[in-house]
Structure 1
């Protein structure tokens, strides 16, 4: 009997593992172990997860995953008062652009390509955050962009170094779906 793929239900174990891994990336945010920081900045675990998820998905799936994880990250790290920049915009754009790369066709699956994609997406995501800070005007514009340079470089370097270690197990998990 041939199952119609359109109407088949996803593997419950894979769905559960995907949800747990996404929440795990959020749980790692406050973790600061020796050697995991550069200039006081830690890896952007949710960004690494969104890139790993989006590599073999459609752009809309990448966008939805990024926005969802960004909203959850905002709920964890933003204070409850006033207007604050959102991680949802940067992670959503990163997920969408990563999926647009169509990595299967353009880039061979290896450690280096995943690290380069995460580096670029970290720069884009942090730049979108700096633009939001600039629009809100909570701090002087010069200070925002000076901090942006340091933060973006440290985040991009650390996230791209950790990305292959996160991507490979998740990729194997999602191949079994």
Structure 2
């Protein structure tokens, strides 16, 4: 370590290790928060989609391929916690690619309100992708563990809107610390 104006700086290796620790730690924290239901942050039995928020924030700062991989990895981890059929991996990969594509076209600016709107829209897209997967599974396999088509799409409306509202409201809680870290 070298001294610069009374402050110690980190070596490149230490910065890389710290960055990996922040990325993995924040992703795992969001993964652990996903199944938890805290009083006061639920709406109609739905909690914020923490992993979706994380993937959107990640995708703003990284290329499309990296964003898709992050979405797939976190989606598979979430699927491991929630059910026998992988439904979140595809939706989070699509969210990562769409958000990174918006960033490449310079549509996204460094504004938390705009990021919250993007999270709102992406939460609806993610819920729709999951509902489409459940519908396809129900149509293709008669012994599907999912509900009937009518029930899937009736519940989809409630889940999509509740998740979108809560996720967009909780976006600043993740956006500010992660954005500040990744802009360094």
Q: TM-score range by the shorter chain?
A: 0.7 to 0.9
Task: State yes or no: 1:132 paired with 2:137.
Answer: no
TM-score, normalising length from structure 2? Answer: 0.85
For 2:3, the equivalent position in structure 1 comes to none
- 1:1-177 matches, cutoff 5 A: 11-79=16-84, 84-102=85-103, 105-137=106-138, 138=144, 139-176=147-184
Unmatched tracts of structure 1, length 5 or more: 1-7
**Cα distance, 1:154–1:12 mapped onto 2, change above 3 Å:** same
Could you say which structure has the larger radius of gyration?
2
Quote the offset at 1:107 in angstroms: 3.0
SS in 1 for 2:110: coil
Cα shift at 1:30: 2.5
Distance in 1 (CA, whole Å) between partners of 2:80 and 2:16 is: 29
Cα distance between partner residues in 1 of 2:21 and 2:44: 35
Structure 1 residue 16: deviation in Å?
Answer: 1.0
4+ residue runs over 2 A deviation: 103-108
**1:85–1:132 contact (8 Å) kept in structure 2:** no
CA RMSD of aligned residues (A): 1.6
Distance 1:145 1:56 in 2: 33
Q: Gaps spanning 5+ residues in structure 2: where? A: 1-11, 139-143
Instruction: State the TM-score, normalizing by the size of structure 1.
Output: 0.88
Map of 1:3 onto structure 2: none
User: How far 1:164 moved relative to its partner?
Assistant: 1.7
C-alpha distance in 2 between matches for 1:107 and 1:88: 24
* Aligned positions, number: 165
The equivalent residue for 2:4 is: none
